[in-house]
Amino acid sequence: MGRHSLLSASSSHRWINCPPSARLCESYEDKSSDYAAEGTDAHSLCEYKLKSALGIEAQDPTENLIYYNEEMEDCANSYAAYVMELVEAAKEKSADPVVLIEQHLDYSRFVESGFGTGDCVIVADGTLHIVDYKHGKGVQVEADNNPQMMLYALGALEIFDGIYDIDTVSMTIYQPRRANVSTFAMAKDDLYQWVEETLKPAAELAYAGEGDFKCGDWCQFCKAKQDCRKRAEYNMELAKYDFQLPPLLTDEDIEIILDRIDGLVSWVNDIKEYALQAAVGGKEWHDWKLVEGRSNRRYTDENVVASTVTAAGFDPYERKVLGVTAMTSLLGKKRFEEVLGGYIEKPQGKPTLVPESDRRPVMNTAKNDFNEFVEDK
C-alpha cells in the first residue's frame, strides 16, 4: 500500500465532517485488515485487466494475489469492460481521449499536502470522468456528492483543465459485489464553489487539529472510534429513553432512536472488541474473565478421511445440487439461462426498515395494496 496524506481523499468524508479527527488518528498505528488486503489484491487485478484491455503491456499479478478467486476475476473483468465502454463514449467527443490508471492526483492547492490515487481517469473535451473501484460488499458507496471522488476530480483538473476544455465532471463508483454502479455529474464551477464553501474551511481546521468533533456514519472507519468520548456521549444520549418499549415511546421518539440505532450497535460492538483484544493482550477487567469459546470438531485431513472411509466399505460423500452462483459459474451465464431459466425463482426478500435515502423501491404492504384497490374502484 502506498503512503497516505494526512488529509487523504479516502478519509475526506470523515475529516470534512469531523475536522479534529485527522490529527487525532495520527496518534494511532495503522492496523491492516483482511478486507483491506483483499481490496488491494482486487485493485491490482483490476489495473492489470484494464491495461490489457487498452493494449498496455502489464504483468499479470494473479499468482501473487493471496485473496484471488473466481469472483475477483469476474469483478475485475466486468470493471475493465465497464471502463472500456466509457472510453468508447469519450472517443465520440474527442479523437484521442486520455486514460490514466492508478494516477497520482495532487489537490494540495486547496488542501494542505493533499493527494490521492485515482483508479481511472478519462479525459476528453467537455467531460472529465473519474472511476473508483470498490471491492467491499459491506457498505454500499454512493457517488452523489462523494468528497473522495470530488477531491480526485480536483486533482485531475489540476493536470488537465488548461489542456482540455472541461466544463463537467462525472464521477462513478463501481462496486460489483453490491451490484452498484453509482454515477454523479456536476458542473466544474459547482465543484469549485464546494471547494470555497466547504472543503477549504474544513481542511484548514483539520490540518490545524481544530474544530468540533462530530459523530456520524464517517465514524465507522475512524481509528479513534473505540476511544472517542464524543462518540460515547452521542450514543449515551439514547439512555434518556431508559430502554422503554412502545407504546410508552412516541412515534417521534422511535424515529429519533431509529436514526441512531445502527451507530449505537456499531459503537457497542467496537467497545466489546476493544475490551476483548485488550484482555487477550493481558489486561484484566474487573468482574470479567477471558475464557475459551465453543468450537466444533473437525477433520485434520479430509482426503485421508475419505479414503479411509471408502476402504472400510462406506461412501463418505453427500450429494447435493450446486447453488445458483456455483451452477452459473459451471454452465456460464448464457447457458445457465437457456437450460435453467425456467426453474429459477426469487422469493420476496425479508422486510427491512431502511433510511429514506436507500435506493431500493418501497415494498408493497397490505395497506398499500388496499389503497391501490380503493383507487382502482
Angstrom distance (rounded) from CA 203 to CA 178: 31
373 in any annotated domain: no
Q: Which amino acid is at 85?
A: E
The pLDDT of residue 186 is above 60: yes
77 in any annotated domain: yes
Give 198: exposed, middle or buried? Use CB within 10 Å, 0-12, 13-18, 19+.
Answer: middle
3-state secondary structure of 116: strand
User: Is-contact 110 200, C-beta < 8 A?
Assistant: yes
Task: Quote the pLDDT of residue 370.
Answer: 54
Of 140, 107, 117, give the one whose Cα is nearest residue 44. 117
Cα torsion for 296, 301, 303, 304, to the nearest 10°? -110
When pLDDT is averaged across residues 264-269 and rounded to a whole number, the result is: 81
Band of residue 1 on the pLDDT scale cut at 50, 70, 90: very low
Angstrom distance (rounded) from CA 32 to CA 30: 6
Task: Quote the pLDDT of residue 73.
Answer: 94
Q: Total structural domains in the chain?
A: 3
Same domain, 321 and 192: no
Phi and psi for 102 in degrees, rounded to 5?
50, 55
Same domain, 65 and 94: yes
Count of beta carbons in the 10 Å neighbourhood of residue 112: 15
User: Taking the model in full, what pTM does it have?
Assistant: 0.72
Continuous H helices in the chain: 12-17, 21-26, 34-53, 70-91, 147-160, 188-194, 200-208, 229-236, 251-280, 302-311, 324-331, 333-340, 366-376
Same domain, 306 and 271: no
Which whole-number Å values give the CA distances from 62 to 47, 80, 136, 157, in the listed order?
A: 11, 16, 19, 33
User: Is-contact 98 122, C-beta < 8 A?
Assistant: yes
369 in any annotated domain: no
Enter the C-alpha cell of residue 330.
Answer: 459451471
Same domain, 36 and 133: yes
Q: Which domain holds residue 333?
A: 302-343
Same domain, 81 and 180: yes
Percent of the chain with pLDDT over 90: 57
Assign residue 282 a region (left: φ > 0; alpha: ψ between -120 and 50; beta: otherwise): left
Same domain, 202 and 230: no
The pLDDT of residue 213 is above 50: yes
